[in-house]
Amino acid sequence: MTNRESAPAIALSGLKKTYRDGDSKAPKEALKGIDLEVPRGAFFGLLGPNGAGKSTLINILAGLTVKSAGNAAICGYDIDRQMRDARMSIGVVPQELVLDTFFTVREALDIHAGYYGVPKHARRTDEIIEAMGLSDKANIKSRRLSGGMRRCLLIAKALVHNPPVLILDEPTAGVDVELRNQLWDYVRELNKQGTTVLLTTHYLEEAEELCDSIAIINHGEVVACDSKAKLMQGFDSKCMKVIPAEALSSLPKKLAETGWMLQEDGSLTVKYQPSKADMEQMIAELKQSKVRIRDISTEETELEDIFLHLTSQKAA
């Protein structure tokens, strides 16, 4: 195996981007020295709040933005020194719905495949059209497509040259549930076949369900990066939920003092650290407040909890 074949799908080292505002002397650092590796075959989530630097990072990889410093490589190809090979190695689905409205769906895909030098006999136009749920729209011009269908067409265009790395920047914004499920089924299958997927999304439940590894960036810096399993395990927090046998009109003072909360549905909840919690003490607190338990359950930490904790912590 050559060095390039064993290289990560995406490798970033000290990646920086500084924007200079013409109305201000102070430059803005969008990326502050990002070090990140996306392994081959990963389904990798790149998460962060608005303005964190996700789109800047993707635009650098796509060749739409010039980096200020650092190095970036795609499948072992440096994005500057081996630009053509690097571009051939990725398919990028941008946030913006930018399409040529004068071509039909089929024409748009064939033309895009031509840009990449894909010969006619090797094109997968029909397969991709069907996978994206566009079969009945194949001969319709893109200006007549709904917003969700246009999003699917953008994804289809990113796949025409069969890239080993697929970058999806908010791919399901405006896409209905049926199309979304169809899209993810196809992308999962691509991933199983070896395609590396880099996903950015504000739908954190999507990232939690789909991704095997996750990086969270905030203010241009990586604040967490690990496998999803380790990231979830490393966050020492759970929630206990109790359904009282009798409805409570208010939260007993003793429970309020120890962090319990009365929810709108009448349940009692408390967040705790499994590594430090004394479950017997928590149950005793309920008994001391004369709360009889009808049902009790615990909930694992969700990705959203980790995301909010890390991004708000960094902002603070």
**Which residues neighbour 77 within 8 Å (Cβ) at sequence distance 6 or greater?**
4, 85, 86, 89
Structure-token pair, residue 111: 């033309």
pLDDT at 299: 75
Length in residues, the chain? 316
Cα 108 to chain center, whole Å? 27
**pLDDT single digits (tens) 93-132:** 888 777 788 899 999 999 999 999 999 999 999 999 998 8
pLDDT at 215: 95
Q: What pTM, to 2 d.p., does this model score?
A: 0.78
Does the structure show a pLDDT above 50 at 232? yes
**Which residues neighbour 189 within 8 Å (Cβ) at sequence distance 6 or greater?**
none
3-state secondary structure of 226: strand
3-state secondary structure of 41: coil
Q: What share of the chain is helix, strand, coil (3-state, %, to 5)?
A: 35, 25, 35
Q: Mean pLDDT over residues 260-265, rounded?
A: 92
pLDDT at 3: 64
Q: Mean pLDDT over residues 160-172, rounded?
A: 92
**Whole-number Å distance between alpha carbons of 139 and 154:** 16
Contact call for residues 99 and 112 (beta carbons, < 8 A): no
**Which residues neighbour 186 within 8 Å (Cβ) at sequence distance 6 or greater?**
131, 132
Q: What is the DSSP letter of 172?
A: T
| Complete domains list, the chain, with CATH | 3-89+163-232 (3.40.50.300), 236-300 (3.30.70)
Contact call for residues 169 and 93 (beta carbons, < 8 A): yes
**pLDDT single digits (tens) 173-204:** 777 888 788 889 889 999 999 999 999 988 88
The string of DSSP codes covering 90-143 is: EEEE-SS----TTSBHHHHHHHHHHHTT--GGG--HHHHHHHTT-GGGTTSBGG
Contact call for residues 169 and 94 (beta carbons, < 8 A): yes
Q: Name which of 222, 219, 200, 224 is nearest 211 in CA terms.
A: 200
Torsion of CA 184, 186, 192, 193, to 10 degrees: -150
